[in-house]
Structure 1
Amino acid sequence: MPNPTIVALGTANPTTQFSQEELLSLASYTDERRRGFFLHSGIEKRHMYVEKATFRPTETTDELNARFRKGGVEIGRLAIQRALDQAGCSAQEIDFVVTTTCTGRLCPNLDAYFVREFAMKERVQRVHVGDMGCASGMIALQQAYNHLRAFPDHRALIVSVEICSSTYYLDDSLETAVANAIFADGAAAAILTSDGAGVEVLGHMSLVRSDYLDLMGFTYPSGRPRILLSKEIRGIGSAMMKELAAAILDRYHLKQEEIRFWVLHSAGRGVLERAQREIGLGDADLQFSRQVLRRFGNMSSATVLFVLNEVIRSGQASPGDLGVMIALGPGFCAEGALLRW
């Protein structure tokens, strides 16, 4: 049975772009430590679904959720259209849709909105991966992989949409300042088939450490989303990336030098630096992850798909090249896949 293949990948961001200096000014941090989270983050620009002229950090929870819904549908639709155009197929040819987000809640969820936006067929199958954080882009890919293994004649669409700006929170904690310094808005959509040319997904692997359950996720004081992001994550996350990468290599009887591309989630500057040391990678191995972090920040679940898109767009891959793709998420987990061009 052929392995599912990513035949198209589209990304999208809100048109409004901020420099780190602009966002620091909006957050109004004045102490050097919190200012340093913004200015030494490895991030130059971030996209946010807000209006620069009118935005004020005083939105109600209703306003935040309305902005999530409007922005999520808008940039998600754009990413999907770009993927469809690349694949040369229509939305009516899609058999299975997987959506994922952790930055807003809707019922019905995003999948229903996209089915309506694109007038997809009535018999399209759907699943939503919710509240699984930055790793859920990988989990969505895993769901599409599993579906196509069961139904190899189908076409699958995965859509990751994050409006992280709808989860901002202002308080005195350092972890909140870190979150405000790195997260941004973006969407990515990928189309998978069992018979197309593209990036073959050879298999998936998960690593879950529930001992670290309380270190990352969201809390909801007075119903308002607030990111929980412990400083311990940098060390734990990089160690889990190393462990998962080694397990993937072992399963497929590969040596590290056989991996051409390392598609690592751009979680933050510190996580990438530690992962580079832990795994034993060179600067070239992390160029695409750092490029996404620099240009877009951390867009939660969409980020690792942006990194893969940068690898594809670079034109550096040759047939037969292998890649390891890994993202981190709450729970605490590392989710990975082995790819082949």
Structure 2
Amino acid sequence: MSQENAEFSTEIVERGVENSGPNAGSLSFSVRVRPRLPDFLSSVNLKYVKLGYGYLISHRLYLLLAPPLLAALITRFGKLTWEDLCDNCGLTEALFISGLLCLMLYFYIDSTPRSTYLLDFSCFRPSNEYKISKAEFIELAKKSGNFNDTAIEIQERVLKKSGIGDETYMPKGVFRPGYRTSLKDGRQEASMVMFGAVKDLLAATKVKPKDIRILIVNCGILNTTPSLSSMIINHFKMRHDIQSFNLGGMGCAAGITAIDLAKDLLDAYPSSYALVVSTEAVSYTWYSGNDTDMLLPNCFFRMGAAAIMLSNFRLDRWRAKYELKQLVRTHKGMDNKSYQSIRLKEDSEGRKGISVSKDVIEVGGNALKDNITTLGPLVLPVSEQFHFFTNLVFRRKKTKPYIPDYKLAFEHVCIVATSKKVLDEVQKNLELMEEYMEASRKTLERFGNTSSSSNWYELAYLEFEERVKKGDRVCQIAAGSGFMCNSVVWKALKNVGRPNQSPWIQEDNES
């Protein structure tokens, strides 16, 4: 099999001893094909390269054209004094030219998009009563009587190779005999993690609830009436004209989608605060049946939530931690395999759960490849882009195209902590050093997969370790159902020291 088509790995499985026929007494083997990420180095889709440059031109054209025009006018009239203008043009013409210059300067400043600043964020850490080890997970699953022996064996095997540690958090009520998901359990869990994260964030930023103009909440499976965003508005008594939104069904990628929506709304509402809350209710995603493809989320999903405060006040630049630089969203929903790779369904007994297709790694790899191909022109140094294009134009047909070194574009990478296997494949295909993967691996081990909030636990880890320095660029990457892959790039506006409130502080004290 050629390297270009090597999207699957094989493993030999011993099936047993044949007791009859001409080959009696011999062992028989079968070949099992395991999906892998596509080889990123084998091909480049120019459609996504063009899309990236399209974003660059459409969003930055004013930066290229306006300054030269303004500089030309200033050069032409800047040396003239008021007396020169009056002598040469007359008072009326002088006032007209001065007013025209001021009007052009005003329109340039006003048309320049306001920056979106990340003031601060918080990640919720449940109390120790929710801690669960892998051994306790299996023990409770056995005692619940909800799973047969095969389902227990599958979950035990998956947990062993998952990369998840023994101090993650989950509601142990899901192990009740005959447990079925209920709105009551989902609401209780969601309110605990969301309210806790928002409370910590408001204390850190000193922003009053009534000063928040925009609220966006994302949760993949749990969608209640009233909505989760309404729960927050009611609990914190926010303003009556708040712009509130509730996103669902997008999985781990929804957190970055919510950031993109918040940015667009901030552009529409100058001088405003936007609060984004990302979470997933484990008690509402839990599956208590025995279908193999629906058991995987049980093993990975854990409790968690993140609250993020964004602002477009110009003066907030001096107290903000980060500035949003680029955001790219890639959707593969037009492809049936991608569309059906992750979906909510019911098994033959009516038990609801998330079904994960065996194609999800291949699908996710293709989405990630397309996303970073689009992101490249927005973040890569000019030298890398020049090298890429010259190689693309002059290379021979049978040679691989040059893939830019994305490590030159970011100092830190936060890849959503889904599973050890996925992180291994991403590291291999993007040729990332272990230091780029540390935040994702540590988050997966300590907190498990907290879905759309995972990226923020990873950034919290980098801050806790005091890795983020002024000018550093942080890239968050997340994929989710649909199928979609999103990425966002933040630039640190200052050296980010160890925060007073961090989900990682307890781990430091215990060690």
Partner Cα distance (2:132, 2:278) in 1: 22
Greater shift, 172-181 or 221-230, is seen at 221-230
1:334 is paired with a residue whose SS is: strand
Shift, 1:241, TM fit: 2.1
CA contact (8 A) 2:171 2:282 kept: no
Partner Cα distance (1:113, 1:181) in 2: 29
Shift, 1:84, TM fit: 1.1
Match for residue 250 of structure 1? 377
Match for residue 7 of structure 1? 119
Partner Cα distance (2:412, 2:233) in 1: 34
Match for residue 88 of structure 1? 206
Match for residue 46 of structure 1? 168
Do structure 1's residue 298 and structure 2's residue 425 form an aligned pair? no
The one-letter code of the counterpart of 2:171 is Y
CA contact (8 A) 1:238 1:271 kept: no
Match for residue 201 of structure 1? 324
CA contact (8 A) 2:221 2:248 kept: no
1:137-157 deviation digits (Å, cap 9, x = unpaired): 111111111111222300000
Match for residue 364 of structure 2? 237
Shift, 1:317, TM fit: 1.0
Could you say if the C-alpha distance between residues 34 and 123 of structure 1 is closer, same or farther in structure 2, counting changes exceeding 3 Å?
Answer: closer
Shift, 1:18, TM fit: 0.5
Partner Cα distance (2:117, 2:346) in 1: 38
Q: 1:98 aligns with which of 191, 216, 219?
A: 216
1:134 is paired with a residue whose SS is: helix
Match for residue 17 of structure 1? 131
Do structure 1's residue 173 and structure 2's residue 285 form an aligned pair? no
Partner Cα distance (2:231, 2:474) in 1: 33
Partner Cα distance (2:228, 2:114) in 1: 30
Match for residue 320 of structure 1? 471
1:190-228 deviation digits (Å, cap 9, x = unpaired): 000123221111121111112110111211457643111
Match for residue 141 of structure 2? 27
The one-letter code of the counterpart of 1:244 is N
Match for residue 157 of structure 2? 36
Partner Cα distance (2:118, 2:169) in 1: 26
CA contact (8 A) 2:216 2:275 kept: yes
1:324 is paired with a residue whose SS is: strand
- Name the structure with the higher strand share: 1
Aligned ranges 1:259-298 → 2 under 5 Å = 259-298=410-449
CA contact (8 A) 1:48 1:163 kept: no
Match for residue 96 of structure 2? none
Partner Cα distance (2:177, 2:215) in 1: 34
Do structure 1's residue 110 and structure 2's residue 261 form an aligned pair? no
Partner Cα distance (2:292, 2:420) in 1: 16
Partner Cα distance (2:283, 2:302) in 1: 6
Could you say if the C-alpha distance between residues 321 and 174 of structure 1 is closer, same or farther in structure 2, counting changes exceeding 3 Å?
Answer: same
Match for residue 66 of structure 1? 184
1:304-332 deviation digits (Å, cap 9, x = unpaired): 22222222333211111112211101111
CA contact (8 A) 2:289 2:351 kept: no
Could you say if the C-alpha distance between residues 298 and 192 of structure 1 is closer, same or farther in structure 2, counting changes exceeding 3 Å?
Answer: same
Could you say if the C-alpha distance between residues 284 and 252 of structure 1 is closer, same or farther in structure 2, counting changes exceeding 3 Å?
Answer: closer
Partner Cα distance (1:38, 1:5) in 2: 38
CA contact (8 A) 2:218 2:278 kept: yes
CA contact (8 A) 1:97 1:111 kept: yes
Partner Cα distance (1:223, 1:139) in 2: 31
CA contact (8 A) 1:168 1:180 kept: yes
Greater Rg over alpha carbons, structure: 2
1:266-303 deviation digits (Å, cap 9, x = unpaired): 11111111111111111110111111110111111222
1:272 is paired with a residue whose SS is: helix
Q: What value does the CA root-mean-square deviation take over the aligned residues?
A: 1.9
1:10-55 deviation digits (Å, cap 9, x = unpaired): 1114321101111122233755554210112100132113459xx5
CA contact (8 A) 1:21 1:39 kept: no
The one-letter code of the counterpart of 2:234 is R
The one-letter code of the counterpart of 1:172 is N
Shift, 1:240, TM fit: 2.5
Partner Cα distance (2:486, 2:458) in 1: 15
Q: 1:307 aligns with which of 452, 458, 463?
A: 458
TM-score (norm 1): 0.93
CA contact (8 A) 2:476 2:488 kept: yes
1:201 is paired with a residue whose SS is: strand
Q: 1:123 aligns with which of 241, 249, 252?
A: 241
Match for residue 217 of structure 1? 343
Paired residues, what number? Answer: 337
Structure with the greater relative contact order (CA < 8 A, sep ≥ 6): 1 or 2? Answer: 1
Partner Cα distance (1:161, 1:178) in 2: 19
Identity score, percent: 24
Match for residue 337 of structure 1? 488
1:270 is paired with a residue whose SS is: helix
**Unaligned stretches of 5+ residues in structure 2:** 1-112, 143-147, 382-404, 493-511
Partner Cα distance (1:207, 1:270) in 2: 22
Shift, 1:334, TM fit: 0.1
1:259 is paired with a residue whose SS is: coil
CA contact (8 A) 1:34 1:174 kept: no
TM-score (norm 2): 0.63
Partner Cα distance (2:350, 2:256) in 1: 28
**Unaligned stretches of 5+ residues in structure 1:** none
CA contact (8 A) 1:164 1:300 kept: no
The one-letter code of the counterpart of 1:208 is H
Do structure 1's residue 226 and structure 2's residue 226 form an aligned pair? no
